[in-house]
């Protein structure tokens, strides 16, 4: 009887699988978080050497913490019925914790470390316990119990980093976050209970595709917000107007390159995969890179619009060129996951940017951003030429093919 009541939380076969309005509401907290992250990156504009590396590492760690929260929530709403009151309460509670993490981000590695860590731990420890209780006697309750066990094990590292000396915060939190990610990859193995590999879970593929596409658009929207805010807050000039225009064109090209065509076919690819959980796991890692690359690129917009023809600095090169290179690398990975091939046009773009980097390092930021936009436009044109007069491709993901022994009673 308890197992039957717990089964009511699972997504029924008749579920549409589409993302709900509640989840879009939930994403608003992460809109705030992404703007705060880009601001932390922008604050590194005058740093060099080890100070720049450490500052970049601190902000990257905060992003990875936020991504883990968002990804876990996405998988929860992909496996459980989001119309159930318990799941809705979990999503809203996670949104509040995410908002706390967002508002503490500007100083989360400094004096606001404790509220950031407590909000993170509340989600990663308490949330799975709530779900486990709601599942009652259903076999799936063991999955959140495993997750809570591992999260509780890393909690002392998070709290020690928040309360301890600031110089120890980065290594302690990096160790804790590394364990959280490794545990997720291994399926949170626990003595006697074993592990529950995420790539063997039963998921709503349509829902997962929706969420990844939406998160990419949120990151892209944040970049557009940066363009508008920075340009509206500076003195108007022809040079800044040109930087504003090129920045927008670059964002539009990122949108085009992502959705043509692999990004557009996530739903169909997950539907064709015998084990959609396996493909979904790979897509999660790919979209982590894609979203992060868009954030990094948006910081480049801010630096260029603020001073289009200022002196060349290593910092702006990291964002203006490094962000698009990482985006193209992640997009190559996405192409392979959807079609089982390597994208030649994107490889051409990566090689072109890497070869041009030494020359761009000696030029003005505006020149670098314009060259990046030109290379991205070349990638988009090559894509269009390749598909001209050809029938639309059908996804053939090499990841997610079912084999014997893939079924998991807890999945």
Task: Indicate whether this model's pTM tops 0.75.
Answer: yes
Given a cut of 80, whether residue 323 has pLDDT beyond it is yes
DSSP per-residue string spanning 301-317: HHHHHH-TT----HHHH
Q: What backbone torsions phi and psi does residue 58 show, to the nearest 5 degrees?
A: -60, -45
Question: How much is the pLDDT for 198?
Answer: 86
Question: How much is the pLDDT for 132?
Answer: 95
CA–CA separation, 75 vs 284, rounded Å? 10
Segments of the chain assigned to CATH 1.20.1410: 205-387
Q: What angle do CA 316, 318, 320 make, to 5 degrees?
A: 60
pLDDT in tens, 180-213: 999 999 999 999 889 998 888 888 888 999 999 9
Given a cut of 60, whether residue 405 has pLDDT beyond it is no
Which residue did the predictor score with more confidence, 41 or 401?
41
Which residue did the predictor score with more confidence, 278 or 15?
278
Helices 49-79 and 205-232 pack at an angle, to 10 degrees, of 140
CA–CA separation, 300 vs 284, rounded Å? 25
Q: Which fold has domain 205-387?
A: I/LWEQ domain (1.20.1410)
What's the token pair of residue 306? 């603020």
Q: Is there a contact between 116 and 104 (Cβ–Cβ < 8 Å)?
A: yes
Q: What is the mean pLDDT of residues 229-237?
A: 88
Question: How much is the pLDDT for 92?
Answer: 97
Among the residue ranges 76-80, 212-216, 256-260, 322-326, the one predicted with the least confidence is 76-80
């Amino acid at each position: 009887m308890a197992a039957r009541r717990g089964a009511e939380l699972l997504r029924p076969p008749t579920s549409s699988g589409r993302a709900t309005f509640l989840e879009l509401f939930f994403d608003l907290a992460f809109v705030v978080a992404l703007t705060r992250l880009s601001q932390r990156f922008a604050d590194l504009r005058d740093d060099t050497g080890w100070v720049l590396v450490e500052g970049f590492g601190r902000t990257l760690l905060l992003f990875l913490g936020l991504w883990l929260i968002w990804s876990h929530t996405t998988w929860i709403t992909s496996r459980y019925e989001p119309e159930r009151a318990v799941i809705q309460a979990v999503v809203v509670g996670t949104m509040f914790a995410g908002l706390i993490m967002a508002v503490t981000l500007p100083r989360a590695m400094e004096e606001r470390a404790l509220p950031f860590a407590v909000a993170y731990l509340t989600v990663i420890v308490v949330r799975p316990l709530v779900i486990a209780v709601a599942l009652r006697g259903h076999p799936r309750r063991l999955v959140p119990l495993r997750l809570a066990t591992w999260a509780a094990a890393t909690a002392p590292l998070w709290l020690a980093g928040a309360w301890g000396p600031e110089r120890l915060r980065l290594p302690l939190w990096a160790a804790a976050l590394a364990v959280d990610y490794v545990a997720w990859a291994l399926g949170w193995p626990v003595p006697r209970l074993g592990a529950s590999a995420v790539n063997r879970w039963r998921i709503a593929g349509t829902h997962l595709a929706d969420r990844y596409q939406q998160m990419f658009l949120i990151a892209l929207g944040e970049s557009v917000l940066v363009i508008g805010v920075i340009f509206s807050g500076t003195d108007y000039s022809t040079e800044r107007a040109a930087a504003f225009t090129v920045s927008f064109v670059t964002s539009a090209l990122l949108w085009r390159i992502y959705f043509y065509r692999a990004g557009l076919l996530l739903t169909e690819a997950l539907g064709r995969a015998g084990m959609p959980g396996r493909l979904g796991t790979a897509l999660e890692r790919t979209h982590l890179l894609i979203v992060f690359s868009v954030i990094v690129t948006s910081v480049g917009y801010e630096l260029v619009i603020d001073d289009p023809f200022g002196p060349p600095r290593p910092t702006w090169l990291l964002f203006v060129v490094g962000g698009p290179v990482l985006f193209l690398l992640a997009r190559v990975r996405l192409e392979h996951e959807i079609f089982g091939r390597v994208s030649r046009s994107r490889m051409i773009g990566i090689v072109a940017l890497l070869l041009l980097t030494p020359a761009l390092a000696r030029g003005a930021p505006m020149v670098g951003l314009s060259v990046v936009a030109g290379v991205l436009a070349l990638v988009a044109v090559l894509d269009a030429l390749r598909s001209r007069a050809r029938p639309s491709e059908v996804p053939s993901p090499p990841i997610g093919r079912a084999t014997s022994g893939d079924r998991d009673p807890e999945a």
